[in-house]
Structure 1
């Protein structure tokens, strides 16, 4: 029976169409609405390597390949080898007696036969009768002629000799069907090593074990297979996505997020451009629009997301030591840190909050209260720090911090939209949202995987304190069953800093999309790209990407169903049309049959 068969068509002909019409010609066969031509392989290369049939099996057109294998009994194999060796030696002796030139091909064949006989006698190999056939399909005869030319050129490059099954096209087509019937009978003897090397174990497709958390990324660029990836089966769950503007990184991140939700993974998103809001609302998530009128966030709040922990007060103070330098735009000097720490203790004490856990549910003080305490101190460093905080307490940036937290983020998907924030507050808003997300996962039981997506991560990593916070999150995420996804278009700045490189190195899954020529050298050095991979990233179209994970490299094209595309697209015209039609829940009914099976 055929042990190896590969159909490269995405839309195989239906049996009813095949039964409708069969027209047999000497070198082609008409099947319903298409035509086909069958070939039998009659000559093989002298030496083969691993997966030597892989180029034929990954042919991009519709090509049926069938390999029929029949074991040869050991006593029959030994007898045939003896007769073959006798014929070859007789031919060699006759050539020498008649003074003819030595036949090198006969000498090599005799040597191979002796080696095979010795291995067979030792039980190291077995012999098989092998038949290899191929059937090319096309819509019209002109297309068939072109496809046949491509296949013959491919076979010639593999040193394989194939002959058309003239006047036996029907038998050739049946031999390529999964029926276990060989009607052509064009067999060749092979040993175990040559036959084992024919199987496509060196496939360009990424091998991933079946898992509920595996996600379809797209189509393999080197074959017509799919790229399915499970980040939760790796040593680190983190992912980094590097691409220039317009390369499709946000599209990929939203698609990855949406398909992860199918698997029951909860997620939180830092969204600087309000691109995830439509997706979040469609799946019943929560959108926190920082900077919008009436939306406030108190950085001194002890219980923003979860119940207070045993060290909630000290943790909040430590976070404020990270947040204040981002607000002021410069690291704090040692004296300023001491003044800030003293002011924090005083501010909380005035609000009735101390180290006693029973005081923690009380209303937390505001940022303006902290600034007032700093201003009241006699220390010059404290007063200077109060002046730097003035824009956030009484100035242009005070709207977000002037009142207690207005809403508690809850749900299986929480998106922190930062579009309404001015550029000067983007890094501050990103850091506060990350802190709220981390407090949400730090105290929750790690009973299922969670995702944290930071889009345009360069805005946070441009600040030293923000980069350190993101690095700590990347290091500690795995212990909480959390996968951090950082997407950024500023690859040069990220890879140019020590903390940025550390965040990238802590991501086992690395997605590279189109890169700017100015940054390709740094990207190639950081990820060890070959010249071909460099050229691919410089000329990649939107949605084309390179997946890097350890020694595995695979190029793929991001694909989405129509229902998914309406939710994740950033095209203004398509987004407006989606808004007019209203959000549609992305269920499996909107997916193609192939995607439904994969998901």
Structure 2
């Protein structure tokens, strides 16, 4: 018996020792709840402190008679840390109808008493009766339902002063819409519990609302441009979603990009071009600063170098090989109109004066003589309005020079003004038959090495050549015109660019217009028209002087105006149709190395413009 007792005592001693060891071990183990929980919580009458953060809960108690859709957008999109909780409790319709009947009776009784006492009419009382009667009718017909609605907002900050500042901002936003809020005094703990995601309404401060009023409080007000198809443009800074969009699904596929130098506009456009090529889109680029050569070589594209010393030739007299019979008959006439604009540009240009008036380079008589000379020049090589003759080799500028030289009127004088393009300084590049073939997923026309006088002319001729190819062979294409402000300086080239923007959709072409000279571009009539005919716009960081101009055109809010002048590189406002978001353009390291023009960024490969 004694032996058995000794064994039991030893076992109990070992069990106690094991329990003590396990207890000591467990004291040193942290659970997941221990890791994510704040170090402490302090509850005060008008605020609470959670770890190192200060918080304060407000509740909304008053609303205007009418409230409009999107009234919460200013709160949802504010640049502050907030927790917003909305509690919606449906109420049985019969209960509401009984209460409304009693309420209407009370209101009408009050009106009768006031009338008997000879008091003046009470507009608020009459409005209340009308609202109650209208709501009764809607509920009776099943067009409306009734709810109890609670709205609570918890603010967060790093200090009490900052917390008071944020509270003032929120109350100001509410007050502008006649929505009234209060601090949940002596109920901060209940307020915190009501706004954390545990669906516990411990404040229970509610307001009666019908279906229409409740629907205006729909909280997801930030624009979302995520589509099932398209390419990734960047990250939506409102909600950290992806901006995936197909520009060819809009009413037109045109896009304008405005930014100051170094803001990332070329980076963004090259990124879009690279990603669009992956989905089968052909890309054609007019490059005035040699920024696209590296990208073209990386993807196996064609790089067309235009200069007086190069062997590349583009003939402005080329005609499109259109198949459509109606367009075929109109091809010559359309090209004659284009050539009129080109030769006005070559012979001095129709420039826009400071007062907005056009200064013509040709007189009406010279215009008429030039028109006849163009028709005769085509006729001399056998090309007439008959589409069957359009397959003959087209004339060149030297043929037009000979025609002008041997005709009467102002022809010889026009020929002398045109001579520098045939046998003079600028001869060769545009005075011979074309020797280029656009048959590549990416084609870049580099005009950097052309003289300043020739640049707008070259851009005009290249655009005309691309337009003829586009009409001849319709494919999904993107045309990028960099530094488009150079075309806006001349009335004829601005009109031609606008014509492209207006007609591009018919030929499955998306025109991207890039400029850093915002004032000149927007200041011209055609520039504004091009913006109006572009369903997509991208506004990156702007100079202070350009912000006011863009704000007027795009109807920006004060907050957007302030941001537009202070955006970091690669961030901006992205407009697509009726929606616009604050976007951050991001590239992968591989894309970064292909498209960056910043040597330091190319070495680092950090994925930012």
- Common fold, TM-score beyond 0.5? yes
More deviation, 332-341/399-408: 399-408
Q: 2:310 aligns with which of 280, 287, 294?
A: 294
Structure 1 residues 429 and 76 mapped into 2: Cα distance closer, same or farther (>3 Å)?
Answer: same
Matches of residues 142-157 of structure 1 in structure 2 within 5 Å? 143-144=162-163, 146-148=165-167, 150-151=169-170, 154-155=173-174
Match of 2:36 in 1: 19
Q: For residues 85 and 534 of structure 1, what CA distance do their matches in structure 2 show?
A: 45
Which residue of 226, 229, 232 corresponds with 1:212?
229
Q: Deviations over 1:38-94 (max 9, x none)?
A: 4444x223534114433332332121211111211234445566788899999x89x
The correspondence of residues 403-552 of structure 1 with structure 2, limited to 5 A, is 407-446=436-475, 448=476, 450-488=477-515, 503-509=530-536, 527=553, 536=561, 540-541=565-566
**Aligned match of 1:163 in 158, 166, 183?**
183
Say if 1:426 and 1:185 are closer, same or farther in 2 by CA, change over 3 A.
Answer: same
1:323-472 alignment runs, 5 A limit: 323-329=342-348, 330-331=361-362, 333-346=367-380, 355=389, 357=391, 370=399, 373=402, 377=406, 384-398=413-427, 400-401=429-430, 407-446=436-475, 448=476, 450-472=477-499
2:226/2:243 contact within 8 Å kept: no
Gaps of 5+ in 2: 1-31, 349-360
**Residue correspondences, number:** 540
Distance 1:34 1:163 in 2: 18
CA contact (8 A) 2:488 2:524 kept: no
Deviations 1:262-293 (A, max 9, x none): 66543322222223444544555433221175
| Superposed CA offset, 1:471-496 (max 9, x none) | 43233212112222334456676677
Q: Which residue of 1 aligns with 2:21?
A: none
Secondary structure at 1:452's aligned position in 2?
Answer: strand
Q: Compared with structure 1, are the counterparts of its residues 134 and 388 closer, same or farther at alpha carbon in structure 2 (3 Å cutoff)?
A: same
Report the CA distance shift for 1:282/1:534 in structure 2 as closer, same or farther (over 3 A): same
| Farther off after superposition, 412-421 or 111-120 | 111-120
Q: For residue 65 of structure 1, give the secondary structure of its aligned residue in structure 2.
A: strand
> Deviation string for 1:413-469 (max 9, x for gaps)?
3222211111111122112211232233212234x3x22222333433444543443
> Structure 1 CA distance, aligned partners of 2:231 and 2:33?
35
Which of the pair has more CA radius of gyration? 2
Q: Could you tell me which runs of 5 or more consecutive residues in structure 1 were left unpaired when the two chains were aligned.
A: 1-14, 593-599
Q: Distance in 2 between matches of 1:423 and 1:487?
A: 19
Contact 2:287 2:482 (C-alpha < 8 Å) held by counterparts = yes
- RMSD of aligned residue pairs (Cα, Å): 5.5
Q: What's 2:253 paired with? A: 237
What TM-score results when the alignment is normalised by the length of structure 2?
0.67
CA contact (8 A) 1:458 1:494 kept: yes
Question: The residue matched to 1:288 in structure 2 has which SS?
Answer: strand
Maintained 8 Å contact 1:247/1:541: no
Residue of structure 1 equivalent to 2:599: 576
1:127: how far off? 2.5
In 2 relative to 1, CA 208–342 (structure 1 residues): closer, same or farther, beyond 3 Å?
same
CA deviation map 1:231-286 (0-9, x unaligned)? 53443433445677788765665565556556654332222222344454455543
Distance 1:404 1:24, change over 3 A: same
Whole-angstrom distance in 2 between the partners of 1:540 and 1:250:
18
Q: Check the 8 A contact 1:53/1:198 in 2, yes or no.
A: yes
Equivalent residue of 2:429, what SS?
Answer: helix
State the distance in 2 between where 1:497 and 1:156 align.
Answer: 41
Alignment partner of 1:175 out of 170, 189, 194: 194
Q: Structure 1 374/17 Cα, relative in aligned 2: closer, same or farther at 3 Å?
A: farther
CA contact (8 A) 1:302 1:308 kept: no
Q: Deviations over 1:550-576 (max 9, x none)?
A: 9x586x656322657777766xxxx23
Q: 1:65 to 1:225 in 2, by over 3 A?
A: farther
Residue in 1 that maps onto 2:287: 271
The aligned counterpart of 1:561 is 586
* 1:230, distance to aligned residue in structure 2 (A): 5.9
CA pair 188-108 structure 1, distance change in 2 beyond 3 A = farther
